[in-house]
Amino acid sequence: MKYPRLLVCLLLGGAGNAIAASTDDEIQHKIPPGYEASEARDEQGLWMELRDYELALNKSALLVKDPELNNYINGIVCRVAGDYCNDFRVYLVRNSGFNASMTATGMMQIWTGLIVRSKSSDEIAAVIGHEIAHYTRMHTLERFRKIKSGSAAGSIIDIGIGILTGVPSPLAQSMVALNALAFNREQEQEADLLGAQLLAEASLDPHATYRVWENIIAEESAAAVKRRKPGMFSQTHPNAQTRVDVAKDWVNDRYGPPDQNIIADDAFVAILNKHYQTLMEDQIDTNRYGRTEELLQRHLEIGVEPGVVYYFYGEMFRQRGGTGDRQLAISAYRHSIETGAAPPDAFRNLGYLHLKDKDIQAARTNFKKFLDLEPNASDKAMIEFYLED
């Protein structure tokens, strides 16, 4: 599974960071449902490589095994895919980042970070529709052939330049790489628009296509530490604002303006509530508290259980550790506890903060409450040490 990053970016149709067609024409699929690799040797070879890749992925320790979560995601995939539903094997990967990818063979990877970043099932469907579009438009194979033919031509030109000038030249190969990246960006844009079309055909909201990217822009602007922007030689995707602009125009022209009130669907909120603790603990581990704060605000707005959202506000403030954050964390844990739905850890972590403030009585009260709720807690010895101290 160790592939050079650029090659993997070029060959996997990823939503990663990223987007052309006229509004009037339907974007057509290039393959029928149930497609198998043609007799072409390059396609056969690509499928073989991708099957090996899938076998390795099957052994990943990070695959989510929870049947309910997998059924929820598979249900969205089949709704968006329609007749193509049986072409796909969906792998839900426990990764706090925002990504999904698709191979020519129908192997789809979805990272759990997509779930915590979405506001509705429609937004998850938008990313899935994008990936399905990569598959039905045969983007992986096209990219593979583009790189292969370009590399061969580039090598011949570079050898020619080398012979004529006596200087080894990487010029044509570099031009081929840039050309492949531009081609990649065109494919991304096409996948966004066909994805929106698939959403509409499945009676889902095509406006979710660009809302996903508006969410990403909001998160990025809230980030305390910005992610390193890809250099011009690795921009496999159009930037998020370009994706919003192009998709927004296309969807509005084609399907009309969006509904004014966007409400998160019950199925999405229920699944987020059920797996919130695990998903957000992974987000907290990224130490990206600016982004976490933006996600928590989003979760309160869409109706995730407030007692648990406030608990994670406490975690985020405590992790940020700036001036005044301890008091903000104490307030957040108290707010969580007042809802009656706080995780037991809220009492323990509140106890620790009172200990720092040398409010021993409040610390003892909260530690005892934690042990009442979690009598077999694995850190019981540590808590008892402070209670006896």
Strand partners of residue 90 = 108
Of the candidate residues 282, 328, 364, 365, the single one contacting other proteins (CB under 8 A): 282
Q: What share of residues in the chain are helix, strand, coil (percent, to 5)?
A: 65, 5, 30
Of the candidate residues 95, 169, 252, 277, the single one contacting other proteins (CB under 8 A): 95
Contact region with other proteins (CB under 8 A), list: 153-161, 236-244, 257-265, 286-294: 286-294
- Residue 288 vs 299, nearer CB to other proteins: 288
Position 356 contacts other proteins (CB under 8 A): yes
Position 52 contacts other proteins (CB under 8 A): no
What does the alpha-carbon distance between residue 47 and residue 36 come to, in Å, rounded to a whole number? Answer: 9
Position 62 contacts other proteins (CB under 8 A): yes
Supply the minimum distance, in Å, between the C-beta of residue 386 and other proteins.
9
For 187, how many CA atoms within 13 A lie in the half-sphere containing its CB? 32
Helices (H) and strands (E) in the chain, counts: 16, 3
The closest alpha carbon to 115, from 259, 1, 247, 279, belongs to 279
Q: What is the DSSP letter of 30?
A: S
- Residue 7 vs 225, nearer CB to other proteins: 225
Position 113 contacts other proteins (CB under 8 A): yes
Of the candidate residues 285, 301, 338, 372, the single one contacting other proteins (CB under 8 A): 285
Q: What is the DSSP letter of 22?
A: -
Of the candidate residues 266, 338, 372, 379, the single one contacting other proteins (CB under 8 A): 379
Q: Three-state SS for 92? A: strand
The closest alpha carbon to 130, from 264, 277, 226, 237, belongs to 237
Of the candidate residues 153, 355, 362, 373, the single one contacting other proteins (CB under 8 A): 355
Strand partners of residue 93 = 63, 111
Position 5 contacts other proteins (CB under 8 A): no
- Residue 1 vs 360, nearer CB to other proteins: 1
Position 56 contacts other proteins (CB under 8 A): yes
Q: Kind of pairing, strands 89-93 and 107-111?
A: parallel
What does the alpha-carbon distance between residue 215 and residue 98 come to, in Å, rounded to a whole number? Answer: 11
Cα 180 from chain centre: 24
CA-CA-CA-CA torsion sign (31, 32, 35, 40): negative
Position 61 contacts other proteins (CB under 8 A): yes
Q: Which residue has the tokens 């199925």?
A: 267
Q: How far is CA 359 from CA 176, 260, 336, 354, 362, in A?
A: 66, 48, 20, 5, 6
- Residue 64 vs 172, nearer CB to other proteins: 64
Using CB under 8 A as the criterion, what x/- string covers residues 205-234 for binding other proteins? -------------------xxxxx------
- Residue 79 vs 288, nearer CB to other proteins: 288
Supply the minimum distance, in Å, between the C-beta of residue 216 and other proteins.
16
Position 385 contacts other proteins (CB under 8 A): yes
Supply the minimum distance, in Å, between the C-beta of residue 359 and other proteins.
14
**Binding positions for other proteins, rule: CB under 8 A:** 1-2, 56, 60-62, 94-97, 111, 113, 224-228, 282, 284-288, 318-319, 321, 348-349, 352, 355-356, 378-379, 381-382, 385
